[in-house]
Amino acid sequence: MVTLAGVIFTVFAAGTDRDRASFSVMGYLFLLVAVLAYALYSVLVEKDKSFSGLELTYVMITAGAVVFSAFAVVEALIDGDMFVLITLPVRNVDFLIAVLYQGIGCSILAFFLSNTAIVKAGVNRTSSFIGLSTVVSILAGVMILKERVTALQIVGAAVILLGVYIANLRESRLNSNM
């Protein structure tokens, strides 16, 4: 709960900076749906230990490829640009690099590591680290995009780190008492 409070605090702290962000109801609704979907996914992965992290990743990536490829084909058919869709990876190297980076780095590797962590360490311990993505996003914004970091974001990041520490301290104590 401490980590969640830190993430919520940090998200709203970024929304208070008038130069960078604005409040978007739709954006926060999508964020809420994503969090709920991940919570459901994590619980289901932990409940069914009959599949390995690799098998889960394969099914997830295949389902995503089928769904989003179908969307792309339908859109190309509607626009009458099927040739453009088929030749895009060959004609645009930046597009190909982005797709490979997203597909291999962000999807396959990340989902495989996440699925393996849930299967091996459990959903409670694994989910305690989710908030760190907010801290990494802040650091990446500062280091790569040269964004300003606010005092409220620093406070939120500190709360997130404290929550991760507390969750794992408690989890390790529970495991040592068993």
Measured CA to CA in angstroms, residue 101 lies from 104, 166, 170 at distances of 5, 34, 36
Entry field: residues in the chain: 178
Instruction: List pLDDT tens digits, range 129-146.
Output: 888 888 888 898 889 988
Residues 6 or more apart in contact with residue 112 via CB below 8 angstroms: 53, 54, 57
Cβ neighbours around 103 below 10 Å, total = 14
DSSP reduced 3-state for 61: helix
Cα–Cα distance between 160 and 142 in angstroms, integer? Answer: 18
- Contact yes or no for 85/72 (Cβ under 8 A): yes
In this structure, are residues 157 and 138 in contact, taking their beta carbons and an 8 Å threshold? yes
Q: What is the C-alpha to C-alpha distance for residues 67 and 52, in angstroms, rounded to an integer?
A: 23
Our CA dihedral for 76, 78, 83, 88, rounded to 10 degrees, sits at -20
Per-residue confidence band for 77, with pLDDT thresholds at 50, 70 and 90: very high
Q: Give me the pLDDT at residue 126, please.
A: 81
CA separation for the pair 141, 32 (Å, rounded): 22
8-state DSSP, 132:
H
Predicted local confidence at residue 70, as pLDDT: 93
pTM for this structure? Answer: 0.60
Return mean pLDDT, the chain: 81
pLDDT at 23 over 90: no
Which residue, chain included where needed, has tokens 């991760």? 164
Nearest to 39 by CA among 130, 112, 109: 130
Q: What is the pLDDT of residue 78?
A: 92
